[in-house]
């Protein structure tokens, strides 16, 4: 299994036991290829800010910290993500959340697959070097 980042929405599906091709793939990575499962600080933040209880926060934090967390050069990556957003907008492509460009940029910089269920990432992939796994 190749190295992959799983977007926040896929993690949420996994935690809610919602079955999709993406969440099933994430389960396989957790079980068989955890060394190739990568997280970004942005994804960790998005997951943790959505929890409802202190206990859930602590449990999810421990789980997430057990995987490989990419540590980008935030200045360089943020500028590149802003340029990605700018270039897409010039092409008439509007991404709803700028954090998606940040996550996509980290995947691009590390040349890893981004597994998601968010159509904005497909728009980014169609107009950049982002590699994605997206199945409805």
Query: Higher model confidence: residue 1 or residue 114?
Result: 114
Per-position b or e across 56-68, b if 16+ CB within 10 A of its CB: eeeebeeeeeebe
Measure CA of the first residue to CA of the last residue in the chain; give whole Å. 21
User: How many CB atoms are located within 10 Å of the residue 106 CB?
Assistant: 24
Model confidence at 134, in pLDDT bands (50, 70, 90)? confident
As a whole number, mean pLDDT of residues 1-25 equals 95
DSSP of 4-42, one letter per residue? EEE-HHHHHHHHTT---HHHHHHHHHHHH-GGGEEE-HH
The 10s digit of each residue's pLDDT in 29-75 is 999 999 999 999 999 999 999 999 999 999 999 999 999 999 999 99
Joined together, the tokens standing for residue 29 give 């990575």
Look up the pTM and report it: 0.94
Give the contacts of 25 (CB within 8 A, at least 6 positions apart): 6, 115, 133
In this prediction, residue 127 carries a pLDDT of 96
Model confidence at 136, in pLDDT bands (50, 70, 90)? low
As a whole number, mean pLDDT of residues 81-90 equals 97
In this prediction, residue 70 carries a pLDDT of 97
CATH homologous superfamily of domain 4-133?
5'-nuclease (3.40.50.1010)
> How far, in Å, CA of 53 to CA of 43, rounded?
19
Contact at 8 Å (CB) between 110 and 3?
Answer: yes
Domain limits, the chain: 4-133
> How far, in Å, CA of 81 to CA of 101, rounded?
5
**Scanning the structure block, which residue is given the tokens 């954090």?**
99
């Amino acid at each position: 299994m190749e190295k992959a980042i799983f977007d926040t929405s896929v993690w949420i599906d996994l935690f809610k036991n919602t079955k999709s091709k993406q969440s099933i793939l994430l389960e396989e990575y957790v079980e068989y290829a955890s060394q190739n499962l990568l997280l970004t600080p942005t994804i960790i933040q998005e997951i943790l800010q959505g929890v409802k209880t202190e206990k859930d926060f602590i449990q999810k934090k421990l789980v997430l910290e057990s995987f490989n967390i990419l540590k980008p050069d935030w200045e360089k990556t943020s500028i590149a993500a802003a340029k990605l957003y700018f270039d897409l907008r010039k092409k008439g492509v509007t991404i709803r959340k700028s954090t998606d460009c940040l996550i996509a940029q980290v995947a691009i910089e590390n040349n890893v697959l981004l597994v998601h269920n968010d159509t904005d990432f497909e728009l980014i992939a169609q107009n950049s070097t982002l590699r994605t796994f997206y199945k409805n």
